[in-house]
Amino acid sequence: MSLTMHLHPLASFCWKPLIALYENGTPFTSVVVDLGNEQSRAAFLKVSPTGKMPALRDDARDRTVLESTVVIEYLAAHYPGPIELIPTDIDLALAVRQADRFYDFYLQEPMQKIVGDRLRPQDKTDPFGVEQARAQLRGSYAIVEQDMQSKTWATGEAFTMADCAAAPALFYANKVEPLGDNYPSVKHYHDRLLQRPSVARVIEEAQPYFKLFPYNNG
């Protein structure tokens, strides 16, 4: 099998390309990386010297592709499937890429700030930074609330790379800063994403690891 994904099933940025792979039924081998295991870490650093996941290795083309968005772009270019995750129309493609960046930068990043702070030693936490991150999440929810009132998926009626980004972003953000009843359109979008078979599969595969998530509340 040509493609190998180096990942951890709990990592939100690994979910994004996994959803893309499952959407199109693209064959690949999965290698779970344990950065706490010396042997696993050493092997992974040979693939990704920064130690960042995910990393896609394509033996057929002798290429290693890093960063979740770039992995999906690479798959769309070289291993396209029936689901056009990046539209061929340039304006639609730009809208998808913009939404993808929004979910990564304005939901994923503040969510990870909150989670990361929970993992710090007690005397090294950053309450002010966490509150800033929570405020940013609430602001992002408000933007999505407006945006999703008339759409099924992130950029319209077609499931795209932007939805691959939105699924882990909203799933984990809702754990650390619950949506509650204030953002009904966001909640409905969140629920549609979780019912998508590709997303449901990723969540199911992560189940054994959820005990490691510091905001595990069901």
Which residue has 């996941």 as its token pair? 53
Phi, psi of 95 (to 5 degrees): -65, -40
Instruction: Measure the N-to-C terminal CA separation of the chain; round to a whole number of Å.
Output: 36
Q: How do residues 122-179 score in pLDDT, each as one tens digit?
A: 889 999 999 999 999 999 999 999 999 999 999 999 999 999 999 999 999 999 999 9
Range of the domain at 128: 90-197
Task: Give the pLDDT confidence score for residue 215 in this predicted structure.
Answer: 80
**What's the total number of domains in the chain?**
2
**174 within a domain of the structure (yes/no):** yes
Q: Is 210 helix (H, G, I), strand (E, B) or coil?
A: helix
Task: Give the pLDDT confidence score for residue 1 in this predicted structure.
Answer: 62
Same domain, residue pair 54 and 15: yes
**167 within a domain of the structure (yes/no):** yes
Same domain, residue pair 21 and 99: no
Q: Given pLDDT bands bounded at 50, 70 and 90, which one contains residue 217?
A: low
Q: What percent of the chain has pLDDT over 90?
A: 94
Same domain, residue pair 50 and 134: no
Task: Give the pLDDT confidence score for residue 90 in this predicted structure.
Answer: 97
**214 within a domain of the structure (yes/no):** no
Write down the mean pLDDT value for the chain.
Answer: 95
Q: Tell me if 189 sits within 8 A of 166, measured CB to CB.
A: yes
Q: How do residues 167-198 score in pLDDT, each as one tens digit?
A: 999 999 999 999 999 999 999 999 999 999 99
Q: Is 29 helix (H, G, I), strand (E, B) or coil?
A: strand
Same domain, residue pair 171 and 98: yes
Q: How do residues 43-57 score in pLDDT, each as one tens digit?
A: 999 999 999 999 999
**216 within a domain of the structure (yes/no):** no
Among 180, 188, 175, 181, residue whose Cα is nearest residue 214: 175
Q: Given pLDDT bands bounded at 50, 70 and 90, which one contains residue 37?
A: very high
**136 within a domain of the structure (yes/no):** yes
Count of CA atoms in the C-beta half-sphere (13 A) of 90: 0
Distance CA 194, CA 49 (A): 33
Does the pLDDT of residue 35 top 50, yes or no?
yes
Q: Which of 78, 107, 130 is the last residue of a domain?
A: 78
Same domain, residue pair 97 and 175: yes
Q: Given pLDDT bands bounded at 50, 70 and 90, which one contains residue 22?
A: very high
Same domain, residue pair 17 and 102: no
Task: Give the pLDDT confidence score for residue 212 in this predicted structure.
Answer: 87
**84 within a domain of the structure (yes/no):** no
Q: Given pLDDT bands bounded at 50, 70 and 90, which one contains residue 100?
A: very high
Distance CA 61, CA 169 (A): 31
Same domain, residue pair 54 and 97: no
Whether cis (ω within 30° of 0) applies to the bond prior to 80 is no
**Rounded to two decimals, what is the model's pTM?**
0.95
Same domain, residue pair 99 and 68: no
Task: Give the pLDDT confidence score for residue 62 in this predicted structure.
Answer: 96
Q: Given pLDDT bands bounded at 50, 70 and 90, which one contains residue 218?
A: very low
Long-range interactions of 75-82: CB distance < 8 A, separation 24+: 75/17, 75/20, 75/21, 75/24, 75/26, 76/161, 79/3, 79/24, 79/26, 80/24, 81/23, 81/24, 81/25, 81/26, 82/24
Q: In CATH, what number is assigned to the domain containing residue 175?
A: 1.20.1050.10
Q: Is 142 helix (H, G, I), strand (E, B) or coil?
A: helix
> Which residues on neighbouring strands pair with residue 5, listed in sequence order?
30, 56
Q: Given pLDDT bands bounded at 50, 70 and 90, which one contains residue 216?
A: low
Same domain, residue pair 167 and 140: yes
